[in-house]
Amino acid sequence: MSKQLLSGHEVEELTKEEQKAIGFNNFVHGIVRLKPEGWVYPGTAPTFLDRIYNMEFRPDDVLITTFPKSGTSWMQEIIWTMVHNPKLDNPKAQESLWLRSPEISLDMMFDPKTLGGKAPESYQKKFRERCPGKNEKEGVTLHLADAEPSPRILKSHYPFTLMPKDVLDRVKVVYVTRNPKDMAISLFNNFKMFKVFEFESEKEEYFKDIMTFQLFIVLYWPHVKEAWGKRHHPNLLFLFYEDMKADIMKELGRINEFLGTGLSQESLENVARHTSFSAMKSRGEPITDQVFDKKDDNEVRFFRKGEHCRRHSPAISVPLHDGDWKNHFSPEMQKEFDQWIKKTWPAAT
């Protein structure tokens, strides 16, 4: 494994003790830290990041970028529907969202020992069908993205600093962010839900560790701040999850204008109904791989409550009230988290 990425980041391997300390100790290729920011990813990440750095993006690609658990799947379904299914008659809509809208940052997450270091069967099946002769070690989802016909709706959780420096000059990017309290709860539940990770951490402990930036993939503020600093680029649309929940038609209008999809008001209303939380939850996520901690394949766990908090102001102030987080944070943890937010982002209110 290269000790330096094409992006210039230094790769540092974590010790077994360090891996155990962050609650993850079952990756085949261990865990690495990427300096100088300190991103903590599975040990296979450098290989895939170098491939992405040289990735051939297409002019009509749409890249959805978020910090994990910030409304990514919702935005994927919205944009895929606007681009590929505005009349709600595309049979491909029955396929898993994860397969029709490839996540280029996902390959590194297929490395747990519980998966044998391989992608789940649904991905392998699609890979065999769409990418004959390709090497899955180069990235199952990266090859699937290459095989996807245009216009592609791609997803990534990687920060801009790890992407090609000119990515915004090549494709349109939609960035979505969310109240860090609700993100923290959703991310904790996400890791608990995916049994393949064998995640070992208690909720209060996890929230404390988020504030010290010592956890697996958890560098929330650097991720958001970097995107916020690029918000005036004509190829970047910066959105708030809370704004989408408060007035979805207004935000759909912004997306429609940004992408140039030219959908009518009636079509946008159809998109809003089709991609509502209740509609998406009722359809479920048709992945039957044994990666979820659930009773049976009919139990939908990927979409939770869809709770939200009040809207952000144009100054990217962080809402500290009214979200689902208040059902999970103790008063002491609420105070600590609020202080952390205000210290890390002085504009927070």
pLDDT digits (tens, 9 = 90+) for 167-181: 999 999 999 998 888
Rounded to the nearest 10°, the torsion over CA 319, 320, 325, 329 is 160
Q: What percent of the chain has pLDDT over 70?
A: 81
Say yes or no to pLDDT of 73 above 50. Answer: yes
pLDDT digits (tens, 9 = 90+) for 201-217: 677 777 777 777 666 77
Per-residue pLDDT, 240 = 94
Give the confidence band of 304 by pLDDT, cuts at 50, 70, 90: very low
Give the confidence band of 19 by pLDDT, cuts at 50, 70, 90: confident
For the record, the structure tokens of 321 come out as 């009230």
Between 322 and 236, whose confidence is greater? 236
Read off the pLDDT of each residue in 100-110 and give the average, rounded to a whole number. 94
pLDDT digits (tens, 9 = 90+) for 286-300: 455 555 444 444 444
pLDDT digits (tens, 9 = 90+) for 149-200: 999 999 999 999 999 999 999 999 999 998 888 888 887 777 777 666 666 6
Long-range contacts of 122-128 (CB under 8 A, 24+ apart): 122/96, 122/287, 122/288, 122/289, 123/99, 126/99
Contact call for residues 310 and 322 (beta carbons, < 8 A): yes
Contact call for residues 259 and 86 (beta carbons, < 8 A): no
What single string gives the DSSP state of each residue in 318-346?
Answer: PP-SSSGGGGT--HHHHHHHHHHHHHHST
Q: What is the 8-class DSSP label of residue 310?
A: P
Taking CA atoms, 111 is separated from 55, 118, 173, 312, in Å, by: 22, 6, 27, 37
Q: What span, in angstroms and rounded, lies between the C-alpha atoms of 277 and 287?
A: 18
Q: What span, in angstroms and rounded, lies between the C-alpha atoms of 126 and 124?
A: 5
DSSP β-ladder status, 31-35 and 39-42: antiparallel
Please give the mean pLDDT across all residues of the chain: 84
For the record, the structure tokens of 133 come out as 């002769």
Read off the pLDDT of each residue in 51-58 and give the average, rounded to a whole number. 95
Per-residue pLDDT, 203 = 74
Contact call for residues 58 and 150 (beta carbons, < 8 A): yes
pTM: 0.86
Read off the pLDDT of each residue in 65-89 and give the average, rounded to a whole number. 94
Contact call for residues 106 and 68 (beta carbons, < 8 A): no
Per-residue pLDDT, 170 = 96
Edge-to-edge strand list for the sheet holding 39-42: 10-13, 31-35, 39-42
Read off the pLDDT of each residue in 114-122 and give the average, rounded to a whole number. 87
For the record, the structure tokens of 303 come out as 């979409």
Q: What span, in angstroms and rounded, lies between the C-alpha atoms of 186 and 341?
A: 17
Q: What is the 8-class DSSP label of residue 18?
A: H
Contact call for residues 82 and 259 (beta carbons, < 8 A): yes
Edge-to-edge strand list for the sheet holding 236-240: 153-156, 62-66, 172-177, 236-240
